[in-house]
Amino acid sequence: MNFDVRDSLLVRNANVRRLILGRLVTNAGDSVYAIAAMWLVYDLTGSSAYTGLAGFLTMAPQAMQVLAGPLVDRWSIRRILVGTQLTQAVLVLVIPLADFLGHLSVWVVLTVMPLVSLLNQLVYPAQSAVVPRLVDDDDLVAANSLLSLSYQGVDLAFNAVAGVLIAATSAVTLYLVDSVSFAIAAGLFVRLSIPSTADGTVGENRNEAEAAVDAVSDGGTDESAGDDEAVQTGYVSDLQAGLGFVRGSILLPLLVSGLVVNGVLGGVWATMPAFADARGGPEAYGFLMAAIAGGMLVGAVGASTFDHLPFGSLTIGLFVFSGVGWLVAIAVPSLAGTVAFLALATVPLGISNVLSVAMIQSLVPESLLGRVMATVGSLSTLMMPVGSALGGFLGDYVGSTSVVAAGGVGLLFVAVYVVALPTLRRLPPIGDIETLSA
């Protein structure tokens, strides 16, 4: 796929255009917020242990994303997107308000961060689940590349800008920028027109308890059982459906590798402010985070170039390249060299992410997609908060460089793991995968 195809998709599909623009704006604010929040915690405490705690509190809600899956499949996606953006716009204003009143402390920041992250656990599966409703199967990779492009492209620019702005103004000021971006994104998402699922219904294959929930939500009455019991049963049934699909598919062994690498990268995230501080301060932090986003951006843009290759063999090659590049980046003494090699090391991650999401979207039934995407997102990030807390603690004792270097080891582990499992090693190109059954 080339850029002309992506451009034509944006031109001919107004809903995709609104989704991408909304994501661009909100991710611009998120990028600024992520840099500002982590640096503010480090600036207030000077400790990697506190940034590790901040990472833990921010990432822990991601493990609960699986609980959001049934809600995404039941609720209006447009209302989810608009409501979460408006709520986040209000939440982030707490930081500048506390600073203005003279009550800003690290604990105020640590309270706001997980609340903002918790709302995002509805946003991400909702955006992934809506894509197949807006485009044909042939455009799934293109649409997901655009989503990744909007995410990583904005990160590339605004991570670096955020570091410079923090040095020129303050981290607190950037929270005001983030609040405005959330409000603008809500205005874009409210204009989305989202078609129903392919079969025109949401619950055609549900059991009787789930049908009762539909009757209640449509305004009908359930004369044989209590409404609360029906809703609870339906939610649990939906939750089990998402977990059951993943448990019986090749997604489960893929998630095992994700747990390890995300645990290690959680530690990297926690110690990156201290690692950057030793190399130049907030500007260095912005550039390093921009390098990671930039590499993933390049990988996302070029992902379709690799979709004809066997997915198993491709994964092995991508993560060997990524792990080696990451270790070289840490070994290079200059900031410019570290930035350059980090960017190269994360290109394969962008490729892998786009192809993996496209594979899931093309093979999972639309009525299950929100639950499956939320389950995958939740389980794959389960170890990130643990890794963040542990990495922050270790960063104060063994040094931030050692913890950041461990990220490269985690990436190499993925390649070794896939080689060791024939089920994964022999996966064909994603277009030839006919089922996700293990």
Task: Let me know if residue 214 belongs to a domain.
Answer: no
Show the domain range for 331.
11-194+237-432
Give the chain's domain count: 1
Task: Let me know if residue 210 belongs to a domain.
Answer: no
Nearest Cα to Cα of residue 218 among 194, 199, 234:
234
Q: What is the CATH number of the domain that holds 134?
A: 1.20.1250.20
Q: List per-residue pLDDT tens for the chain, 438 residues long.
A: 444 444 456 556 777 778 878 878 877 777 777 778 888 999 899 889 999 898 888 878 776 766 766 777 777 888 888 898 899 999 999 999 999 999 999 999 999 988 988 887 777 777 777 777 777 666 676 776 676 666 655 665 676 677 777 777 778 888 888 888 888 888 888 887 776 654 444 433 344 333 333 333 343 344 444 444 544 456 667 667 777 777 777 777 877 777 888 888 888 888 999 999 888 888 888 888 888 878 887 887 788 888 889 988 999 999 999 999 999 999 998 999 999 999 999 999 888 888 887 777 777 777 777 677 767 777 777 788 888 888 898 888 888 899 999 889 989 999 999 999 998 888 888 777 766 665
Helical packing angle, 251-277 and 48-59, nearest 10°: 150
Contacts with 82 (C-beta within 8 Å, 6 or more apart), sequence order: 186, 189, 190
Task: Let me know if residue 407 belongs to a domain.
Answer: yes
Task: Let me know if residue 220 belongs to a domain.
Answer: no
Task: Let me know if residue 437 belongs to a domain.
Answer: no
Task: Let me know if residue 224 belongs to a domain.
Answer: no
Task: Let me know if residue 376 belongs to a domain.
Answer: yes
- pTM, two decimals, is 0.68
Nearest Cα to Cα of residue 357 among 258, 232, 290:
258
SS3 labels along the chain: CCHHHHHHHHHHCHHHHHHHHHHHHHHHHHHHHHHHHHHHHHHHHCCHHHHHHHHHHHHHHHHHHHHHHHHHHHCCHHHHHHHHHHHHHHHCCHHHHHHHCCCCCHHHHHHHHHHHHHHHHHHHHHHHHHHHHHCCHHHHHHHHHHHHHHHHHHHHHHHHHHHHHHHHCCHHHHHHHHHHHHHHHHHHHCCCCCCCCCCCCCCCCCCHHHHHHHHHHCCCCCCCCCHHHHHHHHHHHHHHHHHHHHHCECHHHHHHHHHHHHHHHHHHHHHHHHHHHCCCCHHHHHHHHHHHHHHHHHHHHCHHHHCCCCHHHHHHHHHHHHHHHHHHHHHCCCHHHHHHHHHHHHHHHHHHHHHHHHHHHHHCCHHHHHHHHHHHHHHHCCCHHHHHHHHHHHHHHHCHHHHHHHHHHHHHHHHHHHHHCHHHHCCCCHHHCCCCEC
Task: Let me know if residue 216 belongs to a domain.
Answer: no
